[in-house]
Chains A and B, each alone.
Chain A
Amino acid sequence: MKIRSIKNLASGIIFLAIAAVFWTGSFAMPIGTAARMGPGYFPQVLSVLLALLGAGIVASSLYVEDSMPAAFHWRGLAFIIGAAVLFGVLLKPLGIVPALGATILITTMASPNFRPATALVLAVGLVGFVWIVFVEALHLPWVAFGPWLGGY
């Protein structure tokens, strides 16, 4: 027994785990019969199918020759996903202007090529652009500064 494809092993395990989540979740819903399928019928069939495929992919990791998965770009991953999450968190309390500004500054940290001044200029420019296009031109009902900053 030698694992030849880490990629297949890992992705197979991920699929198995997701299948397990959907499978357990399907018990809460009536299955029904083949003629009158309940809301749980299709989910159950699909989770079993995904589990079978996941198991197959895990098994295939024993004989599929494969390269190691390429290293994760942790810096990019952390700052890009983190920035998006931060935007979601800050948007309501702070309003779009500070939330977006902070988000852009965080995204710039994903690249080694930024100096603080460039990042700042870019953030101001982008926030201004978004404000002009989406709020001034398209009239989206967005709040510039939220409740934490004296807005509404």
Chain B
Amino acid sequence: MDIFSNLALGFGTALSFQNLLYCFVGVAIGTFIGVLPGLGPTATVAILLPLTFGLEPVSALIMLSGIYYGAQYGGSTTAILINLPGEASSVVTAIDGYQLARQGRAGAALATAALGSFFAGCVATLLLALFSPPLAAVALKFGSPEYFALVVLGLVASVALASGSVMKALAMVVLGLLLGLVGQDLYTGTMRYTYGQSQLIEGLDFVAIAMGVFGLGEVIRNLEQPGQRSIIVNKIEGLMLTLRDLKQIAKPVLRGTMLGSALGVLPGGGAMLASFASYMLEKRIARNPERFGKGAIEGVAGPESANNAGAQTSFVPMLTLGIPTNAVMALMVGALIVVGVTPGPNIIKAQPALFWGVIASMWIGNLMLVILNLPLIGLWVRLLRVPYHLLYPAIVTFCCIGAYSLANHVFDVFVMAGFGLVGYVLVKLDCEPAPLLLGFILGPMLEEHLRRAMLMARGDWTVFFTNPISGALLCVAFVALVLVLLPSISSARQEAFVEE
């Protein structure tokens, strides 16, 4: 079978000393930052992105994905031990995980999260290896109308599946698209919105924007809640799960993995939606659902498996179509472009070592996570004790240094500061920043394919509907939009996100 030789190539790449090192460093730093309260995976990836710019593309992507799932995992530790989820995807873990910790079963909760994540990671990596090549083969036949429709669907779906007001999320997408226009027009060389500033010719830097919105903005939001953290456990014991525990978590882990893998591929889905959906599923089918919220181990096993599976499979659309489905993937696309790789259907054929190497490294990275987290849990617990006010100046420092190191331009520091302010204000007004980043990354692609498709169709707008694939995709996007705007559905949608 083809896949074995491909995986062999992948492991050959990922097991080189250099890449193993980057994988380990990524996973370790990711966990380190992820454990720090109040910094979720998106902020972690944004802040650490500049570290990878000098690397080979393979190593950069291996390290970044390590940072991503490391941060995801570290966030669960924080959620379980101090009930302070770093990002939405570990909110549900905190519900039952923290209760378990209060009952003295923190060890069991942590072990469940680790083993569930590991299992889910393995399965999702395999799915990624199996389904990416055929998907890329289909996508290779796509022309501009199909791509335009695909991007539209991606943007609409990311809005539909996000929490909060649909109109505001749409407005944030459009704002992101507009910001993505700044700079020189690729077709005509015309300057757009540069206002005579030479630093704007190449456009706003997406890393500076992400660091401002997710890094600085997050710091200010965290400063709003002073010193309410309390660690209830001093020493983590009982990391070994009993046979009864294992029996109890086996099925939730399986279900969570399946659900998460499926939802991860959807635009706007990924880890967060996966963990919410898994929690609701477990609660619904549980024999005595009243245990949930009071320390049900299934409430940790399901969502933790689901969010890791979702995190992994969200790489599929990013790597095969070049379309990021959530903010972290948008950052990955940006990072890949910086190191000289354009993600898209060609990547598997053109750079097999990169593609398969990253897949193999995910499996290795997940193994490292288990080893890094279970025996070393004491270290992470100690890290949790560091008061926040000693941490945030370091975060601000790394944002400033990181923004400056992008191109050694002070201008990027100002962009970051500006977007820190904008992001803070907009989040206060319940406008989520993730759609903005997606729009920003996808904007140039959307415009390029729109212009090319219209040029080839000689200005005939119906081309998007006479082309069967693009027509179908646009119809799905339209239906999704209408559905979420319907009052009855939108209220049910709100409930789903605020449940618990």
For the complex, is B355 an interface residue (Cβ under 8 Å from A)? no
| Cross-chain contact A39 with B187 (CB below 8 angstroms) | yes
**Chain A residues numbered 1-39 whose CB sits less than 8 Å from any CB in chain B:** 7-8, 10-11, 14-15, 18, 22, 25, 29-30, 33-39
> Which single residue of chain B is at the shortest CB-CB distance from A110?
B223
> Which single residue of chain A is at the shortest CB-CB distance from B169?
A53
| Cross-chain contact B396 with A107 (CB below 8 angstroms) | yes
- Given A91-B413, A107-B393, A113-B389, also A46-B177 (CB < 8 A): yes
For the complex, is A148 an interface residue (Cβ under 8 Å from B)? no
**Chain A residues numbered 30-70 whose CB sits less than 8 Å from any CB in chain B:** 30, 33-39, 41-43, 46-47, 49-50, 53-54, 56-57, 60, 64, 66, 69-70
Q: Which residue of the partner chain, among A41, A46, A91, contacts B404 with CB atoms under 8 Å?
A: A91
For the complex, is A117 an interface residue (Cβ under 8 Å from B)? no
Determine the chain A residues whose CB is within 8 A of the CB of B414 once the complex forms.
85, 88
- The residue in B396, B424, B447 that gathers the most chain A C-beta atoms within 10 A of its C-beta is B396
Determine the chain B residues whose CB is within 8 A of the CB of A89 once the complex forms.
410
> Which single residue of chain B is at the shortest CB-CB distance from A78?
B220
Determine the chain A residues whose CB is within 8 A of the CB of B223 once the complex forms.
73, 75-76, 80, 110-111
Determine the chain B residues whose CB is within 8 A of the CB of A41 once the complex forms.
451
For the complex, is B390 an interface residue (Cβ under 8 Å from A)? yes
Determine the chain A residues whose CB is within 8 A of the CB of B167 once the complex forms.
53, 56-57, 60
For the complex, is B170 an interface residue (Cβ under 8 Å from A)? yes
| Cross-chain contact A81 with B216 (CB below 8 angstroms) | yes
Q: How far is the CA of A7 from the CA of B54 in the complex (A)?
A: 42
| Cross-chain contact B219 with A130 (CB below 8 angstroms) | no
Determine the chain A residues whose CB is within 8 A of the CB of B405 once the complex forms.
134, 140
| Cross-chain contact A34 with B461 (CB below 8 angstroms) | yes
Determine the chain B residues whose CB is within 8 A of the CB of A108 once the complex forms.
389, 393
For the complex, is B259 an interface residue (Cβ under 8 Å from A)? no
- Name the distance in Å between B93's Cβ and chain A's nearest Cβ: 25
Q: Which residue of the partner chain, among B394, B396, B431, contacts A11 with CB atoms under 8 Å?
A: B431
| Cross-chain contact A130 with B178 (CB below 8 angstroms) | no
Q: How far is the CA of A52 from the CA of B405 in the complex (A)?
A: 38
| Cross-chain contact B401 with A100 (CB below 8 angstroms) | yes
For the complex, is B387 an interface residue (Cβ under 8 Å from A)? yes
For the complex, is A112 an interface residue (Cβ under 8 Å from B)? yes
- Given A39-B192, A56-B167, A126-B394, also A114-B461 (CB < 8 A): no
Contact with B along A84-96 (1 / 0, CB 8 A): 1101110110000
Q: How far is the CA of A65 from the CA of B185 in the complex (A)?
A: 42
- The residue in B188, B388, B393, B408 that gathers the most chain A C-beta atoms within 10 A of its C-beta is B393
| Cross-chain contact B393 with A84 (CB below 8 angstroms) | no
For the complex, is B49 an interface residue (Cβ under 8 Å from A)? no
**What would 6 more interface pairs be, CB under 8 Å, given A113-B389, A140-B405?**
A10-B429, A14-B429, A25-B193, A37-B454, A49-B174, A100-B397
In the A-B complex, the 7 residue pairs with the smallest Cβ-Cβ separation, listed nearest first, are A35-B459, A88-B413, A84-B417, A76-B223, A39-B185, A34-B459, A11-B429
